[in-house]
Structure 1
Amino acid sequence: MKNFSIEIKWGVIFIIVGLIWVLFEKMMGWHDEHIDQQAIYSNLFGFIAVFIYFLGLRDKKKNYYNGVMDWKQGFVAGVVITIVVALLSPLSQYITSVYISPNYFSNMITYISENSAMTREQAEAFYNLKSTMIQVVFSALAMGVVTSALVAWFVKSKNQAVEA
């Protein structure tokens, strides 16, 4: 566990920042009166997510690998951050759904069923706590692995000695 303490720290930071972002979304009205804008503006969190991965991998490079890290080491560190995020995502979604924005699902179901090709029953099947908890785990894994690969490419040491 000590070998992964940096990744665990950044996975927890990711979740905390994600909860702050959801609170921001709620304050901006994207969970109620401006719910039509939520899908657009929530994508902005992607920039924050990539930045958190960058900070995490830079921390790992500096404080664990003494400033020299190859792509594979960075990728593995990113995947460990991803696993931490995926494991904590259901708890984060529960906090979001119960405490931060308890009316989000009902608001989204109403909006989607009135403004798209999705029926109310389909929207209810998609926008609920259980379904969303499953979705956040799989999206955290998918996006986290891709983000890890890309960020590791930029954080890796440029001039590494070739080992024979």
Structure 2
Amino acid sequence: MKKFEIELKWASAFTAISIAWVYFEKFLGYHDANVSSQAIFSFWLMVPQALVYVVSIRQKREKYYGGEITWQKAFISGVVLSAIIAGLSPAAVYLMTEFISPEFLSNIVEVRAEQGVPREGLEQIYNLNSLVSQAIFNNLATGVFFSAVIALFLKNKKA
């Protein structure tokens, strides 16, 4: 477990940032009055999330590998971070949909239905199970991408 201590710490920070972002979205009205623009606003969450990857991989390089890291080791560190984040995401989604913003799913279904999208399709997309699956997949996919790109910039040793 000591080997992945840094990734665990930053995955927890990533999850906390994501939960705080949901509070921020709700405060700004993106879970009720402005729910139709929520996806666009949520896109900006990737900026602090990418920064978590940068800081995590940089810390892994400095504290675990003594200041030198290959692209492969940096990438693996990022992938491990992604896997831990994906593992934490069901709890974050549950917290969001049950406690922080329980009205979010019904609000988004109503707005999209008013726009002419069939309600039964919307209810298949906007439910707890679907959001958990999407969170896991999206965190893994974006995390692997972030890891590959960031590892290119943070590597400082030939393989």
TM range (shorter): over 0.9
Distance in 2 between the 1:128 and 1:100 partners? 15
- Aligned pairs for 1:77-92 (under 5 A) are 77-92=77-92
Distance in 1 between the 2:66 and 2:57 partners? 12
Q: Which residue of 2 aligns with 1:112?
A: 112
Q: Where does the alignment leave 5 or more consecutive residues of structure 1 unmatched?
A: none
Compute the displacement of 1:156 (Å).
1.1
Q: Which residue of 1 aligns with 2:98?
A: 98
Structure 1 residue runs of 4 or more that deviate by more than 4 Å after TM superposition = none
Q: Give the AA of the match of 2:75.
A: F
Q: Which residue of 1 aligns with 2:35?
A: 35
The TM-score normalised by the length of structure 2 is 0.97
Compute the displacement of 1:154 (Å).
1.0
Q: Which residue of 2 aligns with 1:59?
A: 59
Distance in 2 between the 1:134 and 1:42 partners? 17
Q: Give the AA of the match of 2:152.
A: W
Q: Which residue of 2 aligns with 1:128?
A: 127
* 1:6-34 Cα distance to aligned partner (Å, 9 max, x none): 01111111001110011111111001011
Q: Secondary structure at the match of 1:30?
A: coil
Q: Give the AA of the match of 2:16.
A: I
Distance in 2 between the 1:155 and 1:10 partners? 17
Distance in 2 between the 1:115 and 1:69 partners? 51
Distance in 1 between the 2:137 and 2:45 partners? 17
Q: Percent identity?
A: 38
Distance in 1 between the 2:39 and 2:22 partners? 12
Q: Where does the alignment leave 5 or more consecutive residues of structure 2 unmatched?
A: none
Q: Which residue of 1 aligns with 2:145?
A: 146
Distance in 2 between the 1:134 and 1:35 partners? 21
Distance in 2 between the 1:30 and 1:102 partners? 13
Compute the displacement of 1:137 (Å).
0.6
* 1:65-121 Cα distance to aligned partner (Å, 9 max, x none): 1111111010000000000000000000000001110000000000111125x2011
Alpha-carbon RMSD across the aligned residues, in angstroms, is 1.1
Compute the displacement of 1:39 (Å).
1.2
Aligned length: 159
Compute the displacement of 1:126 (Å).
0.6
Q: Which residue of 1 aligns with 2:24?
A: 24
